[in-house]
């Protein structure tokens, strides 16, 4: 009696494991960028000493057939392939490996022939392998098979002779490199072992490389006594683009409730005319699919979206799943909320913080599936109004299954939509949100200030498995977060954090006011005094001490240098000073080296290593260098150089290093 388990095990003779893009056994999709080449690796090996071969397989989800890409052997049973996924969307990937009997035959006969052994029988074995390939029904390649048949005819003619010279001539013909290539194309794949099919998602470029600028639209009038409009925002677009940003992000732009409306500096009682927090969404004027009436109409909003596009900007909206006590959903869908025994709804809390102007929905019981559909449709509603980027408020307080379902639903119709998770929470929770579908993630960068903690954190993000699914967005500040480092570091600290965010990460962002080093805190807290979350502000971005030139420089260098557009191409280098961070990025011939003084108060001098080894050069070699800040070029001789960085003058240095032979 045949044992099915035996045959199933026997079929998978080759081992395929250690797949680089396999997330939790295939439970979640790895992420790549459409149009960018990506290297895929796997450990592939078999028993014995036979030659093996392997291919990487990929197809758009739903396609019938896989596209096959040959893999190359690296080292220690590690194989690789480089693939470019053409369009954003869902893909399926896999691998297949097999024993290559002809390559094995060729290797063994080469050794025997070189040793002077008789190879007449081996030549007949080679003929039979080729003949089998010509007669196989699968993997039909007519031209290749025709050439192999001609080869067999030529070999038959040669075989009429005898002796060592004849055998040598036959082997030179049968074992030629071009014959090996033909056999790899059409020959049988002995013990072909497939790998399981894995999911993969290809995002568009902006998911991995973007520069965000955040504003409150209501504060764009230039007058604290007049609520800003979408037309006021349109007037600000040239300013934002001049700074070099490509995403303009708004906190919620919906009607704001009046019940428990917050006043200036988060006071519990609003005075007459105070606008309230934009996160208290919903009033008699509408909810998540409505506009605050003082901002303008939907026609005005569409003009803004179009005008932004004309300036090379995309509009990103906040998707905040919370409601003011005046939200229409409370009347229309009371089953979506948790009611207390006294007939009230508990307001939102994040102890010790309280949000008396906000109540939360719940996602299960009678809210499933109606609330899920409604929230999905809110996103699709704004997609219909030209928005393709959403920053999601506090996603870690909503169910993972909801996000996995909702993001998939939206991207099934619109593969170009990007979701940024604003989740300053536990590491595993942040990573799970990235796995379930978020394109970008806030991070701990905001609180990583020391050399060791920056190095350790960025090494984790760029070298561990999370690099295949989690893309950080290094926001330097937000309306909610006024970091203590910025409160105490003055202008040098703002320049330092800008450079770190813009050059360490592929995605980064600033909240307006950063360019004028706004840092006045609520005493003892990481919050802004006179926060525009609770009042309308008027901004003077030309006041002395601004760092707009630094921002323009960073965004220009990011656009001009492919090395700065990557994330997991980051390497840290030695600088003999704990207050100086040295790191570099490389893409092709583009190599950028960066030094940053982390001490905003003192001049730091240091010896640093020029990473000559990255170019295969000895320690005493010379390289050409361009100062990317000032534009001058010169030569560094040898591995060790000295530098001094004065935080009051410029706390950073950025160099382009040219390998020998690379044009400058």
Handedness of CA 185, 186, 190, 196 (dihedral sign): positive
* Mean pLDDT in residue range 349-370: 89
Confidence of residue 43 (pLDDT cuts 50, 70, 90): very high
Q: Give 343-404 as a 3 state SS string.
A: CCECEEEECCEEEEEEECECCCHHHCCHHHHHHHHHHHHHHCCCCCEEEEECHHHCCHHHHH
Contact 38, 86 (CB under 8 A): no
Residue 29: partners with Cβ closer than 8 Å, 6 or more residues away? 23, 90, 198, 199, 200, 201, 437, 469
How distant, in Å, are the alpha carbons of 56, 260, 335, 358 from that of 280? 50, 9, 20, 5
The Cα–Cα gap between 611 and 404 comes to: 43
Q: Is the peptide bond before 262 cis (omega within 30 degrees of 0)?
A: no
Query: What would the DSSP string read from start to end of 454-481?
Result: HHHHHHHHHHSGGGGT--BEEES-BTTB
Q: At what angle do helices 400-413 and 370-383 cross, to 10 degrees?
A: 40
Q: Is the peptide bond before 473 cis (omega within 30 degrees of 0)?
A: no
The owner of tokens 């040295």 is: 582
482 is in an annotated binding site: no
Number of Cβ within 10 Å of residue 254's Cβ equals 27
Give the pLDDT of residue 346. 85
322 is in an annotated binding site: yes
Contact 537, 216 (CB under 8 A): yes
pTM above 0.85, yes or no: yes
Give the pLDDT of residue 2. 72
Give the pLDDT of residue 142. 83
pLDDT digits (tens, 9 = 90+) for 220-235: 999 999 999 999 999 9
Closest CA to 455 of 661, 598, 622, 627: 598
The Cα–Cα gap between 52 and 44 comes to: 9
Which two three-digit tokens encode residue 646?
Answer: 């004065």
Which two three-digit tokens encode residue 44?
Answer: 């592939």
Give the pLDDT of residue 445. 97
262 is in an annotated binding site: yes
Half-sphere exposure of 562 (CA within 13 A, CB side): 7
On the question of pLDDT at 354 being above 80, the answer is: no
pLDDT digits (tens, 9 = 90+) for 507-554: 999 999 999 999 999 999 999 999 999 999 999 999 999 999 999 999
On the question of pLDDT at 349 being above 80, the answer is: no
260 is in an annotated binding site: no
On the question of pLDDT at 128 being above 80, the answer is: yes
Residues with active-site annotation = 393, 422
Give the pLDDT of residue 139. 63
Confidence of residue 6 (pLDDT cuts 50, 70, 90): confident
Which two three-digit tokens encode residue 413?
Answer: 């119709």
Give the pLDDT of residue 161. 81
Instruction: Tell me whether strands 418-422 and 440-441 are parallel, antiparallel or unpaired.
Output: parallel
Handedness of CA 137, 140, 142, 144 (dihedral sign): negative
Q: Which position has the higher pLDDT, 548 or 188?
A: 548
394 is in an annotated binding site: yes
534 is in an annotated binding site: yes
């Amino acid at each position: 009696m045949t044992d099915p388990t035996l045959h199933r095990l026997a079929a998978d003779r080759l081992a395929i494991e250690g797949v680089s893009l396999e997330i939790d056994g295939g439970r979640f999709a790895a992420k790549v960028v459409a149009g960018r080449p990506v290297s895929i690796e796997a450990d592939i090996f078999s028993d014995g000493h036979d030659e093996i071969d392997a291919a990487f397989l990929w197809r758009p989800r739903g396609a019938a057939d896989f596209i096959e890409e040959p893999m190359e052997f690296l080292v220690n049973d590690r194989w690789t392939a480089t693939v470019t996924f053409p369009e954003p969307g869902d893909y399926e990937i896999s691998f297949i490996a097999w024993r290559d009997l002809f390559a094995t035959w060729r290797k063994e006969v080469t050794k025997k022939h070189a040793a002077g052994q008789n190879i007449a029988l081996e030549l007949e074995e080679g003929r039979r392998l080729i003949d089998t390939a010509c007669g196989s029904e699968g993997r039909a390649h007519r031209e290749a098979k025709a050439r192999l048949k001609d080869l067999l005819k030529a070999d038959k003619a040669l075989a009429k002779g005898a002796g060592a010279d004849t055998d040598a001539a036959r082997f030179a013909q049968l074992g030629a490199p071009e014959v090996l290539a033909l056999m790899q194309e059409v020959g049988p794949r002995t013990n072909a072992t497939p790998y399981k099919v894995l999911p993969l998602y290809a995002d568009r470029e902006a998911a991995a490389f973007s520069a965000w600028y955040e504003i409150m639209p209501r504060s764009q009038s230039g007058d604290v006594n007049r609520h800003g409009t979408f037309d006021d925002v349109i007037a600000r677009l040239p300013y934002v683009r001049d700074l070099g940003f490509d995403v303009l992000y708004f906190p919620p732009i919906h009607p704001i409730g009046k019940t428990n409306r917050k006043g200036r500096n988060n006071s519990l009682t609003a005075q007459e005319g105070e606008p309230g927090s934009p996160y208290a969404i919903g009033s008699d004027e509408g909810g998540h699919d409505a506009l605050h009436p003082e901002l303008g109409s939907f026609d005005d909003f569409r003009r803004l979206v179009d005008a932004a596009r004309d300036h090379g900007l995309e509009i990103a909206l906040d998707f905040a799943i919370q409601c003011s006590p005046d939200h229409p959903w409370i009347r229309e869908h009371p089953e979506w909320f948790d009611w207390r025994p006294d007939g009230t709804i508990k307001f939102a809390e994040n102890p010790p913080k309280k949000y008396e102007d906000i109540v939360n929905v719940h996602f299960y019981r009678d809210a499933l599936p109606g609330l899920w559909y409604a929230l999905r449709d809110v996103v699709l509603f704004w997609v219909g109004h030209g928005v393709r980027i959403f920053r999601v408020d506090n996603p870690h307080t909503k169910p993972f299954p909801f996000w996995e379902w909702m993001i998939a639903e939206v991207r099934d119709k619109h593969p170009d939509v990007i979701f940024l998770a604003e989740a300053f929470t536990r590491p595993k929770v942040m990573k799970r949100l990235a796995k379930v579908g978020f394109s970008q993630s806030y991070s701990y960068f905001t609180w990583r200030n020391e050399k060791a903690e920056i190095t350790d954190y960025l090494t984790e993000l760029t070298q561990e498995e999370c690099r295949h699914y989690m893309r950080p967005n290094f926001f330097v500040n937000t309306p909610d977060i006024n970091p203590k480092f910025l409160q105490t570091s003055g202008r040098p600290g703002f320049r330092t954090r800008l450079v770190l965010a813009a050059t360490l990460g592929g995605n980064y962002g600033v909240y307006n006011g950063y360019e004028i080093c706004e840092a006045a805190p609520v005493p003892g807290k990481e919050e802004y005094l006179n926060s525009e979350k609770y009042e309308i502000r008027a901004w003077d971005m030309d006041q002395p001490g601004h760092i707009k030139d630094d921002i323009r420089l960073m965004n220009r260098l990011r656009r001009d240098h492919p090395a700065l557009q990557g994330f997991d191409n980051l390497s840290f280098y030695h600088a003999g000073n704990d207050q100086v961070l040295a790191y570099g990025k490389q893409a092709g011939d583009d190599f950028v080296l960066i030094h940053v003084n982390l001490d905003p108060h003192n001049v730091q001098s240091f010896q640093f290593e020029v990473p000559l080894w990255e170019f295969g050069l000895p320690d005493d070699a010379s390289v050409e260098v361009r100062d990317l800040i000032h534009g001058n070029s010169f030569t560094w001789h040898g591995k060790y150089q000295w530098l001094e960085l004065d935080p009051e003058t410029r706390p950073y240095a950025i160099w382009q290093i040219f390998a020998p032979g690379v044009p400058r």
